[in-house]
Amino acid sequence: MPQRAATIVGGGIGGLAAAIALHRRGWRVEVLERATEFTELGAGISLWPNALHALEVLGLAGSVRALGAVEATGGVRDRRGRWLSRTDNAELARRFGHPLVVLHRADLLRTLTEALPAGSLRSGSEVSAVREDRRCLVVDHRRGESRPDLVVGADGLRSAVRRALWPDAAGPRYAGYTAWRMVTEPLAEPPSEGAATWGRGARLGYTA
Ligand SMILES: Cc1cc2nc3c(=O)[nH]c(=O)nc-3n(C[C@H](O)[C@H](O)[C@H](O)COP(=O)(O)OP(=O)(O)OC[C@H]3O[C@@H](n4cnc5c(N)ncnc54)[C@H](O)[C@@H]3O)c2cc1C
Answer whether 205 contacts ligand 1 (Cβ < 6 A): no
Question: What is the CA 192 to chain-centroid distance, rounded?
Answer: 26
Answer whether 126 contacts ligand 1 (Cβ < 6 A): yes
C-alpha 63/C-alpha 70 separation (Å) is 14
* Domains, in order of start, for the chain: 1-38+123-169 (3.50.50.60), 42-105+177-208 (3.30.9.30)
Atom of ligand 1 nearest to the CA of 125: 43
pLDDT, one tens digit per residue, over 135-187 is 999 999 999 999 999 999 999 999 999 999 999 998 899 999 899 998 888 88
What is the band of 59 on the pLDDT scale with cuts at 50, 70, 90?
very high
Answer whether 71 contacts ligand 1 (Cβ < 6 A): no
pLDDT, one tens digit per residue, over 63-113 is 999 999 888 888 999 999 999 999 999 999 999 999 999 999 999 999 999
pLDDT of residue 134: 92
The average pLDDT across 185-203 equals 90
Query: Cα-flanking dihedrals φ and ψ of residue 106, to 5°?
Result: -65, -35
